[in-house]
Amino acid sequence: MSADELCYAGIRELGGLFRRGALSPVDYATDLLGRVERLDKSLNAYVTVTAERALADARAAEAAIRRGDGGPLAGIPIAYKDLYATKGIRTTAGSALLADWVPDFDCTCVTRLQQAGMVMLGKLITHEFAFGIQFPGHRFPPARNPWNVDHIPGGSSSGSGAALAAGLVHGALGSDTGGSIRGPAAFCNLVGLKPTYGRVSRAGVLTLSWSLDHTGPMARTVEDCALLLQALAGHDPADPASSREPVADYAEPLGRGIRGLRVGVPRAYFLEGADAEVEKAFEQALAALRLLGAVVTDVEIPSILASWAFLAILMAEAFAYHERDVRAHPELYGDVLRERVLAGGLILGSEYVQAQRLRARLQAEMLEVLRRVDVLVTPTTPKPAPTFAVVWDPSFGFPKSNMPPFNMTGLPALAVPCGFSSQGLPLSLQIAGRPFDEATVLRVGHAYEQATEWHRRRPRI
């Protein structure tokens, strides 16, 4: 396997090479760091490269493998969205306010993947405090989409998407408040999982919105996401929202197929405003699921338009979190973010309560639908990745998105590649399921992925 092929190898394949002694984790980490140095100059995926830490982790993993106690993630390179606190390594949140902050602790997710033997390559750029778009004049340059550097890689886990698509890491962690894992996965031809609210700890991850934030894995295949989730999932007393729900085996069910599984298609809202190419790719994906034996039926979610209440909740909670800092140091916030954070202070308490009431109704209706079907499928995004020129236009606001409904309801949702536009930009399928049933969501995603070739395509960089 050539070096260019190896950097796109799956976690199981790469781990097998390590355990057979066919490849040294230390040598591979060294080679991958060289690739980052060569290619990231044009992509800006990494805000901090931790070369010394990577080699130390790789040596520890290699020793564990030789002792026979290295698990499936031992020696696998990982990188973290720069919201994840890392002990002794700066954690900027993409913000001038925290540009030089060096935590004295690791967040829970970093600790768990360190214990699993993963090799930390560095920290990946995020939109400022994971909110909105990374505008010009920002403290850090924006990550660029390896499929076309004139187009955004999605946000706010922009560096995670760019690094994975370019073969600069084998797994990444993102955060998802309204689509910030699934959006970059969709725009970069990747797999991204927003787990059930409370499934993966948020302790030590900088907050955007307490009731909407999720943490989770991003990778190039569904199996890779399942393996990462296995190490991440489980109760954490340091996160007040963390669930005690038992952790399933996420990898074992992947090969069972989906014959007889019931797939619900909520067309209202999710297909409104979709590009013709997105709609065509979505219908072809439904046809593929039918060929795999799934029973595909249309379903209705009456309160789906209540998803717009998402913005009231997000902005009010973001203002509550940032109020002290944005008043004390307004100059350290980007112009657009500062305006949006302060706008959150204009939301009345009554409006916030009504938004939460609409949220509860939407959640109840989705759970009712999910008693009749096993998963819901939609396009992940209604359009392919836009250009920087479009999103940097001052008139660009909050575009319609297919992802916030699953933040509002806390349900697990997965983005999987499902095609390309005529301009060569990735398209994506979103699969959502019942609370804490990530195993079924991943199973459907894996069956579709393995029946198609979209995830095997690579950008020319």
Question: How far is C-alpha 391 from the chain's CA centre?
Answer: 20
∠285-286-287 over CA atoms, to 5°? 90
pTM over 0.95: yes
Out of 24, 95, 156, 209, which one is annotated catalytic? 156
Give the sheet arrangement for strand 214-219, strand by strand: 46-49, 119-124, 77-81, 171-176, 214-219, 191-194, 413-420, 426-433, 375-379, 262-265, 295-298
42-84 pLDDT per residue, tens: 999 999 999 999 999 999 999 999 999 999 999 999 999 999 9
Out of 81, 123, 194, 383, which one is annotated catalytic? 81
Q: Confirm whether 156 is a catalytic residue.
A: yes
At a CB cut-off of 8 Å and minimum separation 6, what does 136 contact?
392
112-152 pLDDT per residue, tens: 999 999 999 999 999 999 997 777 767 899 999 999 999 99
d(CA 412, CA 265): 16
Out of 24, 157, 158, 180, which one is annotated catalytic? 180
Burial of residue 246, with CB atoms counted within 10 A of its CB: 0-12 exposed, 13-18 middle, 19 or more buried? exposed
Which residue, 188, 231, 196, is CA-closest to 215?
A: 196
Q: What is the pLDDT of residue 336?
A: 86
Q: Confirm whether 81 is a catalytic residue.
A: yes
At a CB cut-off of 8 Å and minimum separation 6, what does 392 contact?
133, 135, 136
Q: What is the pLDDT of residue 137?
A: 67
Beta bridge pairs of residue 192:
218, 415
Q: Confirm whether 211 is a catalytic residue.
A: no
- Tell me the C-alpha to C-alpha distance, in Å, between residue 348 and each of 218, 246, 306, 354: 36, 38, 18, 10
d(CA 234, CA 226): 14
Contact 187, 234 (CB under 8 A): no
Average pLDDT, the chain: 96
- Length of the chain equals 461
3 state SS of 115: helix
**Cβ neighbours of 272 (radius 10 Å):** 12
Strand 191-194 with 214-219, pairing? antiparallel
d(CA 363, CA 372): 15
Encoding tokens for residue 114?
A: 């360190």
d(CA 13, CA 23): 11
The residues of the chain scoring below 70 in pLDDT are 3, 137
